[in-house]
Amino acid sequence: MKERKHIQTGAFWTSVTRCGLHTKPSMPPCDFTPERYQSLAYSRVLEVHKQHLSPMHTAYFPEPLLLHQGHMEWLFDHEGNRYLDFFSGIVTVSVGHCHPKVNAAAQRQLGRLWHTSSVFFHPLIHEYAEKLSALLPEPLKVVFLVNSGSEANDLAMLMARAHSDSTDIISFRGAYHGCSPYTLGLTNVGIYKMDLPHGTGCQPTMCPDIFRGPWGGSHCRDSPVQTIRKCSCAPDCCQAKDQYIEQFKDTLSTSVAKSIAGFFAEPIQGVNGVVQYPKGFLKEAFELVRERGGVCIADEVQTGFGRLGSHFWGFQTHDVLPDIVTMAKGIGNGFPMAAVVTTPEIAKSLTKHLLHFNTFGGNPMACAIGSAVLEVIKEENLQENSQEVGTYMLLKLAKLRDEFEIVGDVRGKGLMIGLEMVKDKESHQPLPREEVNQIHHDCKRMGLLIGRGGLFSQTFRIAPSMCITKPEADFAVEVFRCALIQHMERRAKLKF
């Protein structure tokens, strides 16, 4: 990773054995000064939001943050407060907010050509398709550019059905593959389900969750940190995998037709709380799907572009080769952009059924930004940084799991990390939402922004931009530790 300008002052955080309710770890320095906020007053923002924007409540915190400016891993609110962003716009800002090289590419293209649509050619889409396809193994060489992860998965569903001449598609319980009417059938998280018909032909199957599921233990997942539940698996033979495969076979035998269209899987589940599967599971599941005539789709919307550290794509960590790969979020560092990459054979199957057209997909702005993102990932060694800093942080967070009874599990790979909060380690029951909310708010108060996930919103999700440093990881771990101590202090006071 290229050296970045940071003032080296030794320890960047306050190391404490007790964090009182008003103690705050010392934030690492930042060499950027934000502009003065001069837009709508906070009260007016709340009024406009209530009157004119969706009534769906999605914002974190009782008083939502009003963000004003970003710089690399830092965000600034309307009052000038600085935050270390460890959720990166829901796993989207891959190389840093307003990265100078990405900004420059966008500004150059802004003055040259914004939009053509696919009825005309422009060189940037061809340059980008060549760069992106070079990062994928044969025969994944045909690129369809779209605008969002939901769009990409919509298109992948069409491809699978067109190629197989079948309808049924399988996805995991706890999966999130989009919120469009089509992809809602694949998404199996309760809050995204609705009473009206949607996403027909989609069948859920058991998620092979090593921590919360019935099988799995301390040798089963591809992570520097294993669950504390013990197991008797040998290094090269995971018994939990075999048990979950039997459940997958049961779905194939009872819930779908003899011939199926496909199987969608995130290499690591994101919205469900960074859930990892037993080693070897996806490889065997893919074989079973192909025996039924289906295609295998890897949803890399959150896991791709080097975030997992050891590999550029999440599917590579499972030693599998998908038939279709979908990607979004980090592909454009926050710019609306997504892609589906497949084989020439599957691409031709789609064209036999549909004249696929997308007005904005692959527009000059998106392609200029996407190319710059790929260059930054390579030039600044961000995949390697994800591996090094992510592993460093996972091992530090594992010590918090050992220290606090309410931290049930720490898991993940690279810079995609989950901390699952529980009432106690024996029961695995989720920590009540109001208690998780308090810890979340305390982290924000101390200058750390992290995400939430899990079926009960019980898991903290950590997925910062891939440019973060070890001192910033130290600060984040210390903030989280202080928030846990403060929570335990509150608990103790309630008992008296």
pLDDT in tens, 67-80: 999 999 999 999 99
Residue 126 lies in a domain: yes
pLDDT in tens, 271-318: 999 999 999 999 999 999 999 999 999 999 999 999 999 999 999 999
| pLDDT (0 to 100) of residue 190 | 86
In this structure, what CATH number is given to the domain that contains residue 457? 3.90.1150.10
pLDDT in tens, 183-211: 999 999 988 888 888 889 999 999 999 99
User: Both 450 and 474 in a single domain?
Assistant: yes
- Which one of 330, 349, 380 terminates a domain? 380
Would you say 299 and 339 are in contact if contact means Cβ atoms under 8 Å apart?
Answer: no
pLDDT in tens, 157-179: 999 999 999 999 999 999 999 99
| pLDDT (0 to 100) of residue 424 | 95
| pLDDT (0 to 100) of residue 12 | 31
| pLDDT (0 to 100) of residue 426 | 92
User: Both 345 and 397 in a single domain?
Assistant: no
User: Both 320 and 255 in a single domain?
Assistant: yes
Residue 39 lies in a domain: no
Rounded-to-integer distance, Cα 414 and Cα 383, Å = 8
- Which one of 347, 364, 380 terminates a domain? 380
Residue 95 lies in a domain: no
Residue 22 lies in a domain: no
User: Both 72 and 132 in a single domain?
Assistant: no
User: Both 369 and 394 in a single domain?
Assistant: no
Flag the least confident range among 232-241, 361-370, 390-399. Answer: 232-241
| pLDDT (0 to 100) of residue 114 | 96
User: Both 107 and 76 in a single domain?
Assistant: no
Exposure pattern of 32-68 as b/e (b: 16+ CB <10 Å)? eebeebeeeeeeeeeeeeeeeeeeeeeebeeeebbbb
Count other C-beta atoms under 10 Å from residue 90's C-beta.
15
User: Both 232 and 149 in a single domain?
Assistant: yes
| pLDDT (0 to 100) of residue 232 | 79
| pLDDT at 38 exceeding the cut of 80 | yes
User: Both 313 and 204 in a single domain?
Assistant: yes
pLDDT in tens, 44-59: 999 999 999 999 889 9
| pLDDT (0 to 100) of residue 22 | 53
CA 319 to chain centre: 20
User: Both 478 and 462 in a single domain?
Assistant: yes
| pLDDT (0 to 100) of residue 8 | 32
| pLDDT at 444 exceeding the cut of 60 | yes
Rounded-to-integer distance, Cα 307 and Cα 273, Å = 16
Residue 12 lies in a domain: no
- Which one of 380, 411, 435 terminates a domain? 380
Number of domains the chain is built from? 2
The pTM assigned to this predicted structure is 0.94
Rounded-to-integer distance, Cα 265 and Cα 64, Å = 32
| CA distances (Å), origin 484, targets 27, 119, 153 | 18, 56, 38
Rounded-to-integer distance, Cα 496 and Cα 491, Å = 9
| pLDDT (0 to 100) of residue 135 | 98
| pLDDT (0 to 100) of residue 20 | 52
| pLDDT (0 to 100) of residue 11 | 31
Residue 327 lies in a domain: yes
Residue 13: band (very low, low, confident or very high) from pLDDT cuts 50, 70, 90: very low
| pLDDT at 152 exceeding the cut of 90 | yes
| pLDDT (0 to 100) of residue 493 | 84
User: Both 154 and 245 in a single domain?
Assistant: yes
| CA distances (Å), origin 270, targets 148, 305, 395, 462 | 16, 15, 20, 10
Its domain, for residue 105, covers 101-380
User: Both 124 and 206 in a single domain?
Assistant: yes
* Three-state DSSP string of the chain: CCCCCCCCCCCCCCCCCCCCCCCCCCCCCCCCCCCCCCCCCHHHHHHHHHHHCCCCCCCCCCCCCCEEEEEECEEEECCCCEEEECCHHHHCCCCCECCHHHHHHHHHHHCCCCCCCCCCCCHHHHHHHHHHHHCCCCCCCEEEEECCHHHHHHHHHHHHHHHHCCCCEEEECCCCCCCCCCHHHCCCCHHHCCCCCCCCCEEEECCCCCCCCCCCCCCCCCCCCCCCCCCCCECCECHHHHHHHHHHHHHHHHCCCCCCCEEEECCCECCCCCECCCCCHHHHHHHHHHHCCCEEEEECCCCCCCCCCCCCCHHHHHCCCCCEEEECHHHCCCCCCEEEEECHHHHHHHHHHCCCCCCCCCCHHHHHHHHHHHHHHHHCCHHHHHHHHHHHHHHHHHHHHHHCCCEEEEEEECCEEEEEEECCCCCCCECCHHHHHHHHHHHHHCCEECEEECCCCCEEEECCCCCCCHHHHHHHHHHHHHHHHHHHHHHHHHCC
Would you say 369 and 336 are in contact if contact means Cβ atoms under 8 Å apart?
Answer: no
Q: In the predicted model, what is the mean pLDDT of the chain?
A: 93
Residue 164 lies in a domain: yes
Would you say 233 and 217 are in contact if contact means Cβ atoms under 8 Å apart?
Answer: yes
In this structure, what CATH number is given to the domain that contains residue 120? 3.40.640.10
Amino acid at 270: G
Rounded-to-integer distance, Cα 194 and Cα 202, Å = 14
User: Both 235 and 374 in a single domain?
Assistant: yes
Residue 450 lies in a domain: yes
| pLDDT (0 to 100) of residue 274 | 98
Q: What is the mean pLDDT of residues 116-140?
A: 97
